[in-house]
Structure 1
Amino acid sequence: MIQAAKGGPLGWLWDRYVGWKFRSAFRGLWVRGTLPTGDGARLVYVNHTNWWDGFVLHQLGQVAGWDAYCLMEEKNLRRYRFLSRIGAFSIRPGEPDSALESLRYARQLLRQPRAAVCLFPEGELRPFGVVPMRLQRGVELLARAGKAECVPVALRYTFFEHERPDVLVEVGTPHAAGPLELFQQRLEAVVDRVAMASDLEGFTQQVRGGTGVAERWDAVRGVRA
């Protein structure tokens, strides 16, 4: 198992790199719903649609003031080992011993103040909005073992009227541990809500990204977007 190795000069450097990488690719990070704050620990479970998801969760954790960690398949973390510097830790799917080790490690993380352990309970990349969602039982086991509040979060990448894509984040209501069906219902609900958004009404921009040609041209002309 590869444990997270946050902190130090390299951690600081990779924090800045991920922030720069996000801002260079997207117009902004927009959040609807209330991000839990405070010293309590939380288990954040998220739909998984593309490579950017981990970077988005990193930015979301910084906005919320979380000490964020993210569970990642070990073969991918070995390939992108620097991600351990921003909180990634590993699991080897299909190996019970590895799953138990990662579960114990995640439970330890959830004992720390402001900890947020993020995971993708689908266990694989799936197209946005595909239902029913097939969640793996690990999210239920970790929720029961960690005794932390559980927060469903949906991510959606979309173009509206701008050149660059926006990242929409729908935050659901925190809840206690329960059966796997509860996690599936809550995650499908937030995915459904964010899928219905046709504009940015109700969302608040939490991270500002880059501007497109049209926005820069409007700024030169003195036109408010």
Structure 2
Amino acid sequence: MSRAADADPSQARSAVAWRFMVFYFGRFLRRHLNALRIARWGRPEGADHPGPIVVYLNHPSWWDAAVLVLLAHGFFPRRVSHAPFDARMLERYGVFARIGAFAVDLDSARGAIQFLKASRSILARPGRMLWITAQGRFADARRRPLGLRPGVAHLPEIAPDALFLPLALEYAFWDERGAEAFAAFGTPIPAAELLALPRAERLARLEEALTATLDRLGRDVVAREPERFAALASGTKGVGGIYDLWRRLRAATTGRRFDPAHRPGPAGDHAP
């Protein structure tokens, strides 16, 4: 990545690459997961906020990047998204720089400087938003405390007009062969509210909000009731292969409609 791009990640971002990756990740998710579900209580508030938006989240899985791209496209289509990315991984997966990722060295003090410098550049522009895996590492969704890194607590000073949105992610196997991805946004926190707190208390306030969102999402996931969610994307149902071919033929001979799902979902399961 060039020095100019390192200072201003917007220069490396490509709208064409973004649209392609939305298509690619949507197709990839439908092939390999059963569904991406948003909690009905967890749709994001404040999408029309006049200032920048910072979404901060837990980091449970490799799938997080794909899920974030699809959530950004689905709920914030008019905003330009950016995200910090492990510098070593960004060297391997350079396409992410083309869709708004910027390099951060997670293992040195220089990384904090990189993060704040790039964030300042991004949040100063209209219509921008940051997506931050605030734990800075993979961690189980049930881990407590979350251990958010302190960098996110510095952002209200950089963007006092920003809105902070906690985002909870979790993955689980339900009734189909593919796993389910679950998401829920929590209550927005204005930067002005965070600025009234010392940094340590500010970080604790952010962690408290994300923990509460994760706990509520977790209870819905454990309940295994699809009606608590809306499906943003759905994958291929059934086992596939010879077994589903046999089931299809058996349904045809008995005059029944063939549904490959192990447990058919309720009508209107998809998000509008």
Instruction: Return the TM-score normalized by structure 1.
Output: 0.89
Residue type at the aligned position of 1:181: A
- Cα drift, residue 9 of structure 1: 4.2
For the structure 1 residues 118 and 9, does the alpha-carbon distance in structure 2 shift closer, same or farther, using more than 3 Å as the test?
Answer: closer
Secondary structure of 1:196's aligned partner:
helix
Residue type at the aligned position of 2:168: A
- Cα drift, residue 149 of structure 1: 0.4
- Cα drift, residue 102 of structure 1: 2.4
- Specify the alignment match of 2:20 in structure 1: 13
Matched, 1:213 2:239: yes
- Cα drift, residue 170 of structure 1: 1.4
- Specify the alignment match of 2:206 in structure 1: 183
- Which shifted more, 68-77 or 102-111? 102-111
Secondary structure of 1:43's aligned partner:
strand
- Specify the alignment match of 2:105 in structure 1: 92
- Cα drift, residue 105 of structure 1: 1.6
Aligned residue pairs: how many? 225
Secondary structure of 1:135's aligned partner:
coil
Higher relative contact order (CA 8 A, sep 6+): 1
Q: How far does the alpha carbon of each residue in 1:76-107 deviate from its partner, in whole angstroms, 9 at most, with x for none?
A: 11111111122211111243344223212212
Distance in 2 of aligned mates of 1:184 and 1:213: 40
- Specify the alignment match of 1:129 in structure 2: 142
Distance in 2 of aligned mates of 1:74 and 1:191: 28
Structure 1 vs Structure 2: percent identity of aligned residues? 26
Task: Tell me if the contact between 2:17 and 2:99 (Cα under 8 Å) persists in the aligned partners.
Answer: no
Distance in 2 of aligned mates of 1:132 and 1:97: 26
**Structure 2 unaligned residues grouped into runs of 5+:** 195-201, 265-272
Task: Tell me if the contact between 1:28 and 1:207 (Cα under 8 Å) persists in the aligned partners.
Answer: yes
Matched, 1:77 2:74: no
For the structure 1 residues 187 and 94, does the alpha-carbon distance in structure 2 shift closer, same or farther, using more than 3 Å as the test?
Answer: same
Instruction: Return the TM-score normalized by structure 2.
Output: 0.74
Distance in 1 of aligned mates of 2:228 and 2:124: 33
Secondary structure of 2:227's aligned partner:
coil
Secondary structure of 2:85's aligned partner:
strand
* Counterpart mapping for 1:84-123 below 5 A: 84-123=97-136
Residue type at the aligned position of 1:119: I
- The structure having more radius of gyration, on CA atoms, is 2
